[in-house]
Structure 1
């Protein structure tokens, strides 16, 4: 049996399809950071001769120049051409519009009946009030009702008025319920009417078979409205000085078609950047033209406001346990996360998710696991007490996996306790990772201004000197030896007449960085405290004013 493989990458060709739609299903999706490539498959048994195979209701965002078709056949088939055209969903939507409009008319009729009931009840209420007012007024001949007659009228009117008011409340509740139903139907009607003009794509393939046989099609195309972003969970295990890093892909898609049980791949490639480096244009300089005369400004246009609605992601269903399963259950174990298989290519990497995935076209965020890694870490506490008197735990590790870690948000945990949210930079395999794990009260650090004074300098007292003195105290309240690194700074002079001198500590006790930054690196014994003094002076002529002091 001869099998032929035909692969054709084509652009859109205008035309019409007359054949019936061929059922197809999405089998695989590759998601990029700004689009997705969808692969559909379809099968048909065909007689010998020429046939048109039609794939309908494809998303309007289908990029026609990305369309590729692969075909296999047992009937010695030839793929003649492929056509792409726009289609609309008017016919299927019209019946639903008529149904919703009929329901709204019924509700409007019920609303009118309730309005009539309310008018009758209002009339009854006014009549009772008129009877009460008339009972207290004397007749034309001056006679008045007796006390017993007044009590009888009061009892009758109170009973009637109470029933009338109760009926009015009931009518108001019914009208409110009808208004809610009308609002729901109006929203549904607006959605369906929008679908009257909803555009889709139809792909028509013309094939010719030398003899009867089966044709297997695979059609792939790129669509907009899909993206994925990286996210991370870092869980520090202080007992063994390891970081359990979870690498996830957060996917959103509103391409116009649901992806059900598809083979999912996440790619780090960025097609939007193009295939090569951009070309430089000449940098032209010339004499500046005189500015144009001022023009009166027109009044600003009114702002346009809009409403944006967000769908809440649906929670995953909880697993149910039967009574039989509750008997003699083994000790619970940690759930193994199904991770992805990485495939490194020349310019990108692809993460093939092991389990089939389902993603609805509603822009809901869905997280899939890419990788998990146990990273041996060196723990270090970092602080900038001049800005915040707190020590932040940092884990220094290296990417010992074959996965490139892209930049993304990072949630950090200390064992099972959530401690902070931060961000992780892009880290390639083998590169160093610095994970910020949040503030830790186990290390206390204080910075105190001890002294600040100004004095005159020089033989005639023509110069000035300002001296600052700070005391920095660090205490390790933990039961383990810890590494603590903290930074402070000296003023940076931008004028040769202004001279900054470090008086304490000595240079051997610190490390100097650019822009006047000073770094202390201490190894702190458990339960111990340590102090240092930062002292510096600023000298400048007395006839100038210095900013920043």
Structure 2
């Protein structure tokens, strides 16, 4: 399809125009999607006269797709055919922004200052070296006395050598005293230069591989004109991230701070653009474990001789006759998708996102909820309870899928993934283990030493004792989850008894899942007994 579009554009290439106007574009607005982005560019140029011209925009990204480009001209500018050109492009100077020009000037000034400081230091070092050389020469003088030397002339010569040596040593010492401040000036100048270079390098770069957009335009009159270019690119994305802080002091409260992570690898920097976002763990366990319904069934009892024959029949026959266990449901994983109305966030300030930026974080807003907080425990699988908060999205917009960091009283306790939460929808979020609430599930011994599970020919019974103990200073509303098997066969009868009786059966429509809810004071203890009995006809086996 793209090849067809390119071919059509080539065959409808701009006609021979009176002149070619080279121009560059400026990205003014960007709309980022979960996968991709829409860039809006403005191309400002001056038409020398009314009539047809070829406008050559020389800074389009190399991977631009002509099928994903839309053009709109200002009033009085008619836009015709256009095409992308990747060869025979005119030379261009690397465009610089005002900030880049200022940074370049700062670097040049710092470089000149560093050179001056280095030259001053070298001049002082030369003075030291000259004075020390003079001292060495005077110290090494061993010439013969002149003819007719008298004591007075010898004394005068010695005095001269001594005076000159002293003067040379004093000059060397004076020059050495100038070295520390000169060396400090060099170090400071080099530090300023390094900072100026770092500031320049941190600015968005306009240097990139590019293609040119050739557009046939017709100006209604000479003068300033504007062409708006809209294009869609890949290699950009955004996703929401959340900080959820659960507090109980002074009343249960859940604060949700929303931010976004923006990533782009489009090959060019977005400098000061109007940004629109359009929708579409510590490693420890942070939420209660999941229980799955347990399906039991009965079938004809297999005689030992039949089992022996099956074993002699080979592995394939054994595999065919072996009972097949019911597969547990696959874990549910969330994808980056939105259900419901589109949500758009307009960032209130201009944003700069350099190409290659990974997860630039931008703050959005904060929402407060009044949650229902409970300590939820699954004694069959866990040895402690977990804090959970159920809240309703009372805002007018859905909360989009994203990673969430979980805090309890300001302390990081885990992380999770939030699926989309539509307005008015309730959601449960786990906030880590509650170590002060210990749970235990035991199967007490029977008379004679049998364990809590007893099996006869056509009957199986099981008893369990669940203990919940609050060792902390705070009272907690507790929810205990356990299970009993269920049957879809009339001949397999399943009965259970619990004390106290469960508050809820078939939790969330899952058959056999039981729940008990009660308040457990500080230092309190609660026990639950659960017994179940399975019976089936003679000649059948339990599966």
Q: TM-score, length-normalised on structure 1? A: 0.59
What's the counterpart of residue 528 of structure 2? 532
What's the counterpart of residue 69 of structure 1? 71
CA separation of 1:63 and 1:402: change in aligned 2, threshold 3 A: farther
In structure 2, how many angstroms separate the alpha carbons of the residues matched to 1:256 and 1:437? 41
Equivalent position to 1:246, from 253, 257, 272: 257
Q: Provide Cα deviations, 1:454-498, integer angstroms capped at 9, x if missing partner.
A: 365xxxxxx532221111111233433321112111122344332
In structure 1, how many angstroms separate the alpha carbons of the residues matched to 2:453 and 2:422? 51
In structure 1, how many angstroms separate the alpha carbons of the residues matched to 2:495 and 2:478? 26
C-alpha deviation, 1:369, in angstroms: 2.1
Q: Which has the larger radius of gyration?
A: 2
Give the number of aligned pairs: 351
C-alpha deviation, 1:509, in angstroms: 4.6
State whether residues 500 and 528 of structure 2, in contact with CA within 8 Å, keep that contact through their aligned partners in structure 1: no
Alignment of structure 1 residues 5-154 onto 2, 5 Å: 13-14=9-10, 15=13, 19=20, 21-49=22-50, 50-73=52-75, 77-88=76-87
C-alpha deviation, 1:532, in angstroms: 0.6
Instruction: Flag structure 1 segments of 5+ consecutive residues without an equivalent.
Output: 1-9, 94-197, 270-343, 457-462
State whether residues 253 and 361 of structure 1, in contact with CA within 8 Å, keep that contact through their aligned partners in structure 2: yes
CA separation of 1:202 and 1:442: change in aligned 2, threshold 3 A: same
State whether residues 47 and 209 of structure 1, in contact with CA within 8 Å, keep that contact through their aligned partners in structure 2: no
RMSD: 3.0
C-alpha deviation, 1:374, in angstroms: 1.5
C-alpha deviation, 1:542, in angstroms: 4.7
What's the counterpart of residue 454 of structure 2? 454
C-alpha deviation, 1:63, in angstroms: 3.6
Alignment of structure 1 residues 100-499 onto 2, 5 Å: 200-239=210-249, 240-269=251-280, 347-362=341-356, 364-451=358-445, 452-454=452-454, 456=456, 463-499=457-493
State whether residues 406 and 425 of structure 1, in contact with CA within 8 Å, keep that contact through their aligned partners in structure 2: yes
Q: Provide Cα deviations, 1:430-457, integer angstroms capped at 9, x if missing partner.
A: 322322211111322111122424365x
SS in 2 for 1:65: helix
Q: Provide Cα deviations, 1:382-440, integer angstroms capped at 9, x if missing partner.
A: 12111112211111112222332112221101133210111112112232232221111
C-alpha deviation, 1:522, in angstroms: 1.4
C-alpha deviation, 1:89, in angstroms: 9.7
What's the counterpart of residue 4 of structure 1? none
C-alpha deviation, 1:252, in angstroms: 1.6
CA separation of 1:28 and 1:46: change in aligned 2, threshold 3 A: same
In structure 1, how many angstroms separate the alpha carbons of the residues matched to 2:502 and 2:368? 37
In structure 2, how many angstroms separate the alpha carbons of the residues matched to 1:38 and 1:510? 54
State whether residues 500 and 529 of structure 2, in contact with CA within 8 Å, keep that contact through their aligned partners in structure 1: no
In structure 1, how many angstroms separate the alpha carbons of the residues matched to 2:494 and 2:40? 67
Moved more, 519-528 or 497-506: 497-506
SS in 2 for 1:81: strand
State whether residues 266 and 350 of structure 1, in contact with CA within 8 Å, keep that contact through their aligned partners in structure 2: yes
In structure 1, how many angstroms separate the alpha carbons of the residues matched to 2:217 and 2:91? 29
Q: TM-score, length-normalised on structure 2? A: 0.59
In structure 2, how many angstroms separate the alpha carbons of the residues matched to 1:252 and 1:81? 34
In structure 1, how many angstroms separate the alpha carbons of the residues matched to 2:44 and 2:90? 27
